[in-house]
A and B are shown apart, each in its own frame.
Chain A
Amino acid sequence: MEAISRLVAELDAADQKAAQAAIGAGFAYGLAAIGPGVGIGYVVGKAIEAMARQPEAAGMVRTTMFLGIAFTEALALIGFVVFILLGL
């Protein structure tokens, strides 16, 4: 962190702004990925547990699992879009 700020301090104004945007974008994506990462892990883990307990309901569980993943994943994807908008 310190090394990054020392590097940033050496740049001129325009480059400094770009560097700060890039750092912000990196943090935006990194932070946005934490919650959905935990969430998707939880959804899939529980779905696998349910499928193992009741293999005949696997089709229904899989459909619902994909729905859950899709809703959870949206947050991470918004983070990714912000990352593109800020960083590039």
Chain B
Amino acid sequence: MLALEFPPINEVIRWRDLFTSFNKISLIAVLAALIGSLIFILAARSDATKSPRGVRNLAEMIVEFVENNIVMQTIGRDGLRWTPFLTSLFIFIYLCNLPGIIPIFQMPATARMAIPLFLAVVVWLIYNVVGMISQGPVHYFKGIMFPPGVPKPIYLLLTPIELVSTIIIRPFSLAIRLFANMLAGHMLLVTFALLSEALFQATTKKFILVPMGILPMFMLLFLTLFEVLVGFLQAYIFTILTSVFIAGAMHPEH
């Protein structure tokens, strides 16, 4: 019937190098960093005494969103000094996710493991160092391994689980959550685009197939809309989890 062959995964997510060891993914990541910095530099240079206009409005909206919905909800008032870090994390991930639905680019830079894993390692370093500084190394690791308020024999079971989950599993699940979500979205878009292309170009006697190509195309439109939401949501979730980890390292459980 249809000669529908799904391309191997390497063709979907690998791109030819623009020049040595610099491909489209790197280009998107560099652009995301530049655009993100540009927004805030332009906003900072505008006159602060007048009412905000244009790009400054946007920047203030973003900072306010991070402050009210992420920092204040998880760390509290003394976490406000983490706003710059969390804002830049949020903006960078969001701008890396967004090219997944922009024509020409058509690829979220976070759908490759490199960027999520790097960000997760940075977050891992930060929350461990913050924990060791604000609680002292001994107290910090004691807090991780022996959470208070548990009957003594349970520690036999709890200590290894807590240690492995905080030190090893946390950064990996943080990275895999972002990576797999974006990759899954990208694969869905590829699948429906291929399906509607194959139906539009079908050369069989049953030419009812050709107008049927409309159906996957509408699904593709709907999924593109869905990806707008997912890109935002994943950036939000990554940032809020970072903030939760920092909060947990700053204030031990009682």
Q: Which A residues have a C-beta under 8 Å from some C-beta of B?
A: 59-60, 63, 66-67, 69-70, 73-74, 77-78, 80-81, 84, 88
User: Hey, which chain A residues are within 8 Å of B74, CB to CB?
Assistant: 63
In-complex Cβ contact of A74 among B173, B184, B233 (8 A): B173
Q: Which residues of A contact B173 (CB under 8 A)?
A: 74
Q: Knowing A67-B240, A70-B241, A80-B184 touch, does A88 contact B9 (C-beta < 8 A)? A: yes
Task: Indicate if the CB atoms of A59 and B69 lie closer than 8 Å.
Answer: yes
Which of chain A's residues have a CB closer than 8 A to the CB of B176? 74, 77-78, 81
Nearest B residue to A76 via CB reads B180
A46 to B59, CA, bound (A): 34
Residues of B contacting A67 in the complex (Cβ-Cβ under 8 angstroms): 237, 240-241, 244
Main secondary structure of the interface of A (DSSP, over half): helix
CA distance A70 to B74 in the complex (A): 15
A74 contacts which chain B residues (CB < 8 A)?
173, 176-177
Q: Is the CB–CB distance between A73 and B69 below 8 Å?
A: no
Known: A73-B177, A74-B177. 16 other contacts (CB 8 A): A63-B69, A63-B70, A63-B73, A63-B240, A66-B233, A66-B237, A66-B240, A67-B241, A70-B177, A70-B240, A70-B241, A77-B176, A77-B181, A81-B180, A84-B9, A88-B8
